[in-house]
């Protein structure tokens, strides 16, 4: 599942902001208010392929290992562990950030791959997509706030 964001900042600045985020805060929409996990910060241990990144939520965390590292264009992670509550039917496979320049802006493509055990899939997929997109948008809101005015 993908979300896109265009920002007025160079890819190198965006890249640095995506690696570690000491505090994530923003408007919690309805889904986060009623139980969707809320991210609060991400840390990065090292850089390059094999580096570890941990994203912490109000309850739980997701651990990632870098599988692709091409600054400032692509950062891809394999999800190695997670204990985000409330989702026994859902697993996380991988995630990535792709950055590209378009019309003088940096476009960020955030992708998350999930594995669902709910059926029928055609019924649940739109709700799962909405949940992932809500979390992406929450992260993007923080990123926009941090990049505001950075050139």
pLDDT at 151 over 50: no
Q: What's this model's pTM, rounded to 2 decimal places?
A: 0.88
Residue 68 sits in a domain whose CATH number is 3.30.530.20
Please give the tally of structural domains in the chain: 1
Task: Give the model confidence (pLDDT) of 95-109 as tens digits.
Answer: 999 999 999 999 999
Q: What's the domain range around 50?
A: 2-147
Q: What is the DSSP string of the chain?
A: -EEEEEESS-HHHHHHHHH-BS-------HHHHTT---EEEEEEES-STT-EEEEEESS-EEEEEEEEEETTTEEEEEEEEE--TT-TTEEEEEEEEEEEEETTEEEEEEEEEEEE--SSHHHHHHHHHHHHHHHHHHHHHHHHHHHTT--
């Amino acid at each position: 599942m993908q979300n896109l964001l265009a920002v007025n900042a160079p890819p190198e600045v965006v890249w640095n902001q995506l690696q570690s985020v000491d505090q994530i805060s923003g408007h919690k929409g309805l889904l986060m208010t009623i139980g969707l996990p809320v991210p609060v910060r991400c840390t990065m241990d090292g850089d390059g392929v094999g580096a570890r990144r941990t994203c912490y939520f109000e309850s739980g965390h997701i651990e990632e290992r870098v599988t692709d590292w091409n600054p400032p264009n692509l950062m891809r992670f394999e999800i190695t562990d997670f204990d985000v509550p409330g989702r026994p039917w859902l697993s996380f496979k991988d995630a990535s950030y792709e950055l590209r320049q378009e019309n003088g802006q940096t476009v960020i493509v955030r992708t998350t791959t999930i594995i669902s055990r709910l059926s029928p899939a055609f019924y649940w997929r739109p709700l799962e997509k909405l949940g992932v997109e809500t979390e992406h948008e929450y992260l993007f809101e923080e990123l926009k706030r941090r990049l505001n005015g950075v050139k």
